[in-house]
Amino acid sequence: MTANENQNKVNIQQHEKTEFESIIDYAMLNGGIGFMAMKGFGKTRTLFSIANYLQQQPKIRVLIFDPSDAWLYSYSKIPVFNIADNDITIKEQKTSMDMEQFSFNTWKLTELALRSNKDLLIRLKSKSPSKRGFAIRTIINYLDDLQRSEKERSPTHENKFSIAYIIEEFSDCMNNRLTARLEAETFLSLFNEARNFSEAFFTCQQYECDSAKTLRVKQISALGKLSESQKMPYHRKLERLYNLNLSDMKPRTWLIEGKKITVPNWSQVGKPFIINRTLRAQYSQTQQKKKYPSFAKALTLTLLGLNHWYMA
């Protein structure tokens, strides 16, 4: 390969990366991107590249929700907070008419993790879609409240930080059944209004009908390789419009806003590290109560004028 050919290859790669970064910046202002492609096409790797790019931006927080452990073992260095199955409990339903009610048993610890880290990988260890969905909604509702309060108090009515929520296996925790419940209505309105408060969602799934349409239509659509069984009538209309076959899409290539966008190669740097033990120790220190002397000793110290040492 000649020097000119090498330079052309470098220029093309730089152009692809710039185009990729431009679409991510555009998505941050317009609610995020929903990636849909068949299994094994590289949806998670694409989210890796997005998270890696956004983490480099000083004014963007990255919150990753991982129920599959794919991020824990394959992503780059990032603090990991585990949410175990028993951290979330469901109130027993006596009749079929009773609503499911959840309890977040480790919320104070979760809140500390969110306050202490700009970027965070939240590992959802529960296999229950209901518990996964509840944990995601609770955390995002909490951060959205902070964004709204900050924008209201700001003289310029702007947020200091944008937040990118990256949700792996979106259809498992936000399917039609889970989002149809009454307790999910707040999250549905939040998802719709998120871009007004500098928030965006980046998700991936295999089948379009797996997740709620109410959520799906609020994102920019990104289509990768689809099998014939995945295609809907409007997919075939897009194929005719752009003269392509979605079943022949190359790896790392997505159809976004009528353009073919190639995701740059991603390489792992470092390993994710779990912070639960450190946070528990930190939280325990803040909760320790001060020890006071006995009544007799306290009286003696008061008479001697030394009680201020215990009041410090």
pLDDT (0 to 100) of residue 10 = 43
Please list, residue by residue across 241-279, b when 16 or more beta carbons sit within 10 angstroms of its beta carbon and e when fewer do: eeeeebeebeebbbbbeeeebbbbebeeeeebeebbeeb
Q: Residue for token digits 């339903």?
A: 93
Tell me, what's the pLDDT at 164? 96
Place of tokens 């969905």: 133
pLDDT recorded at residue 179: 60
- The string of DSSP codes covering 23-47 is HHHHHHTTTEEEEE--TTSSHHHHH
pLDDT tens for 79-104 read 999 999 999 988 765 554 455 678 89
- Domains with residue ranges and CATH for the chain: 3-91+98-274 (3.40.50.300)
125/224 Cα distance (integer angstroms): 28
**Comparing C-alpha atoms, which of 67, 158, 65, 76 is closest to residue 114?**
65
Distance from C-alpha of 122 to C-alpha of 68, rounded to nearest angstrom: 11
pLDDT of residue 187: 82
**Distance, CA of 9 to CA of 6 (rounded, Å):** 5
Q: What is the pLDDT along the chain (312 residues), one digit of tens a residue?
A: 555 555 555 454 445 557 889 999 999 999 899 999 888 888 999 999 999 999 999 999 999 999 888 999 999 999 999 999 999 988 765 554 455 678 899 999 999 999 999 999 999 999 888 888 889 989 999 999 999 999 999 899 899 999 999 998 887 777 666 665 656 778 888 888 888 999 999 998 887 776 666 677 778 889 999 888 888 888 889 889 889 899 999 988 999 988 889 898 888 889 999 999 999 888 887 766 555 556 666 667 666 665 544 444
- Tokens at 59, concatenated: 């004014």
Give me the pLDDT at residue 312, please: 43
Global pTM?
A: 0.81
Residue 133 in 3-state DSSP? Answer: helix
Residue 309 pLDDT: 46
Q: What pLDDT is stored for residue 190 in this prediction?
A: 85
